[in-house]
Amino acid sequence: MTSSIPPRPDFFRERWLSLEGLWSFMFDDEDRGLDERWFTEGLPDPVDIKVPYPYQSRLSGIGDEAIHPVVWYAKKFKLPETLRDGRVHIKFGAVDYKASVWVNGRFMGEHIGGYSPFSFDVTEALGDENLLVLRVEDRHGDQARGKQDSKLKPSGCLYMRVTGIWQPVWLEGCGDAWVEGFQAFPCIEKRGIRLRLRLSGELTGLKLRIRVLLAEAEQTSLVEKVKNRVLEVFLRLPEVALWSPEEPDLYTSEFILERDGETIDHVRGYFGLREVSVKDGRFLLNGKPVYLKFALDQGYFPDGLYAAPSPEALRRDVEAVKRLGLNGVRKHQKPEDPRYFYWCDKLGVLVWEEMPDWGMSLEPKNLETFWSEVESIILRDFNHPSIIAWVPFNERRTVADNPVHRGFLEDPCSRVKRLDPTRLLVDNSGYVHTETTDIIDIHDYSGWRGYRRFKENLAKRIRSIKTGEPREFRITVEDFKYRGQPIVVSEWGGWGIKGYEPLVDREVMVYGPPVTDEYEFLTRYRACVKAMAECDEVVGFCYTQLYDIEGELNGYMTYDRQWKINPDEIARIHSKIGFDDVT
């Protein structure tokens, strides 16, 4: 999976080394590795595993679907000449679930959470020849795990588990001071960008040089003395190129830390200028109403599970969205590899990024662990202009009548809004919504019953949002007061087509009776799109789903990404719905 595209295209250094490829690996079902000090002596009876693929996947070279709560990884590597000066950090894109890290027998630290990035400064532990060891604990208990099924054989809309490394691992070099991260806040009215940078290391005598380019033409530059670890600057841009799905223009950013004329750190990234808002029940991008035409994308691959077989496979998924005439995806229960969002940024696809809250109880003991992961993900993905909304929770029914659970939900939602005022919030996708939400979304799979029933159900759900009645269609808390938020049907469809079977050993799961062929699918699809278009309050939709996953056979494509439906016919249907030409 090693690629010329860096693990973080929006934030990278020239001096980096991929550690992907073959590692040593062992199951530790008896949990004896710590007592036997595998972190210093190495793994006693290892097999090869191909990183970053989880052991349950075929691409890992293991393909074992059994539950193993503790696993170990080891990797020997030489430190290249390019990384022998200055500081060296080891970075992990994501490791599911609890990871402990040693370098040459020296404990670096641990990280909890299967979806968020983490890193350690390993400079003092390194030599010419090095041994990196990870112990990973993943018991599939009361923890955020998205759509991973804790049962041995997954079923329904839950899928195979993912344990251990599933995103890139790499080394990165810098000087004794470095840019930890940055956030770009578009200021369109002022024709500029506000940047907030976080710095680490020895700051004495530092200057920060910032350059902003558009298609490699320098737009502006700035040199600032470093006085604090958090630095904020505003840069006016002579050329304002707004990012949108039709014109996904991106600015390149360069951050160079200097001391006495010497470069200490050099980071390159990018951002987009765009503004997201709501008004009069509509979603606005750069002040213009946009009808959301989305597909549900859950980020599973038949050979790699959570890990795409290549960055090019991520690109092909984004290209499929464009070919369908869609303008976005709801990234469901999986904060994705940043290279996916890179292609959304480059190609022009809007994203709702959803956190992996399923599997975790809404009890107070889980709150800070969950928030720590959410915060880390948001800071990592902050500069992707394609991401227009955060979705912390999905379908949490108990929020309606359990004050503790409601408090659990509302707390991180409020924190998300403080952390990122540039995007919208969908508090609890589908149900049950609270006052914190900027968008109200509906999950309704009754479309297989026909146009009339689907339209009637949508009308009842919309009425219940506004008035609380009929109660059986209610998707908000009891004291909810509608404030004119946009209403989106963010799950619908889910239909199967006769003749298709799972590519893995699973029971078939679809919504409603399968249609006979793709032509009946199109008939049903046209009817449901027409029903949504005729509901004035509905300003967007998200079809379930982009591709089949395991036994859930309801995609536009099969699990291995073969079209089941002519995408051009779907795109033709989508072209007839919008604010200017709703039919």
pLDDT at 581 over 50: no
The model's confidence at residue 3, banded by pLDDT at 50, 70 and 90, is low
Each residue of 496-530: pLDDT tens digit?
999 999 999 999 999 999 999 999 999 999 999 99
pLDDT of residue 579: 82
At 581, list the tokens: 């030409």
The C-alpha atoms of residue 124 and residue 39 are separated, in whole angstroms, by 17
No. of helices (H) and no. of strands (E), the chain: 8, 33
CA triple 101-102-103, angle to 5 deg: 130
The C-alpha atoms of residue 490 and residue 294 are separated, in whole angstroms, by 8
* Cis amide prior to 69 (ω within 30 degrees): no
The C-alpha atoms of residue 194 and residue 486 are separated, in whole angstroms, by 28
Secondary structure class of 281 (helix, strand, coil)? coil
Burial of 563 (0-12, 13-18, 19+ CB in 10 A): middle
Please list the residues that pair with 248 across neighbouring strands. Answer: 243
For residue 218, count other CB atoms closer than 10 A to its CB.
12
Q: How far is CA 101 from the centre of its chain?
A: 24
What does pLDDT average to over the chain?
97
The C-alpha atoms of residue 82 and residue 91 are separated, in whole angstroms, by 17
Domains of the chain: 21-167 (2.60.120.260), 177-271 (2.60.40.10), 290-574 (3.20.20.80)
State the DSSP string of 397-425: GGGGT-HHHHHHHHHHHHHHHHH-TTSEE
Each residue of 66-93: pLDDT tens digit?
999 999 999 999 999 999 999 999 999 9
Whether residue 212 contacts residue 235, with contact meaning beta carbons closer than 8 Å, is answered with yes
At 574, list the tokens: 């989508």
Among residues 479, 481, 478, 509, the alpha carbon closest in space to that of 496 is found at 509
Whether residue 243 contacts residue 288, with contact meaning beta carbons closer than 8 Å, is answered with no
The angle that helices 451-467 and 518-533 make with each other, rounded to 10 degrees, is 30
Burial of 359 (0-12, 13-18, 19+ CB in 10 A): buried
User: Which amino acid type is present at position 574?
Assistant: H
Among residues 411, 394, 297, 427, the alpha carbon closest in space to that of 350 is found at 297
Among residues 438, 417, 450, 524, the alpha carbon closest in space to that of 483 is found at 438
Work out the percent of the chain whose per-residue pLDDT is above 90. Answer: 98
The C-alpha atoms of residue 117 and residue 177 are separated, in whole angstroms, by 20
Q: Please give the backbone phi and psi of residue 572, each rounded to the nearest 5 degrees, phi first.
A: -65, -40
pLDDT of residue 4: 79
The C-alpha atoms of residue 395 and residue 402 are separated, in whole angstroms, by 14
The model's pTM is 0.97
Whether residue 61 contacts residue 23, with contact meaning beta carbons closer than 8 Å, is answered with no
pLDDT of residue 582: 35
Residues with Cβ within 8 Å of residue 306, at least 6 apart in sequence: 54, 96, 162, 166, 299, 300, 334
Each residue of 466-498: pLDDT tens digit?
999 999 999 999 999 999 999 999 999 999 999
pLDDT at 6 over 70: yes
Return the C-alpha torsion angle 346, 347, 351, 357, nearest 10. -70
Each residue of 343-387: pLDDT tens digit?
999 999 999 999 999 999 999 999 999 999 999 999 999 999 999
Q: Please give the backbone phi and psi of residue 317, each rounded to the nearest 5 degrees, phi first.
A: -65, -40
The model's confidence at residue 580, banded by pLDDT at 50, 70 and 90, is low
Each residue of 151-188: pLDDT tens digit?
999 999 999 999 999 999 999 999 999 999 999 999 99
Each residue of 276-286: pLDDT tens digit?
999 999 999 99
